[in-house]
Amino acid sequence: MPAEALALCWWAAGAIAQHGPVAAHPQAVHIRDSKDPDGPALTVSPAAWTRFVAFAAGADLTA
């Protein structure tokens, strides 16, 4: 896991809680496996995370 991800405030809420905690930062969103908190984290841009959440919620992304 990147060193900068270790100092973040991790949280889990709603449907995401069953898949893994999330830590938001102005330049990145980090997602990790709740069963392996010391393991690697997936890091995506805030824009990619926003699109993922909208997709998962069933939003129409064609507009």
Integer Cα distance of 6 and 63 in angstroms: 37
Specify if 62 maps to a domain: no
Name the one residue in this structure whose structure tokens are 């709740």: 34
29 SS3 class: strand
Specify if 9 maps to a domain: yes
Flag whether pLDDT at 3 surpasses 90: no
Read off the pLDDT band of 32 (50, 70, 90): confident
Report the share of the chain in percent with pLDDT over 90: 14
If one counts the domains in the chain, the total is: 1
Specify if 61 maps to a domain: no
Q: Could you list the residue range(s) of the whole structural domain that residue 33 is in?
A: 3-56
State mean pLDDT over 40-56.
89
Specify if 28 maps to a domain: yes
Flag whether pLDDT at 20 surpasses 80: no
- The residue length of the chain stands at 63
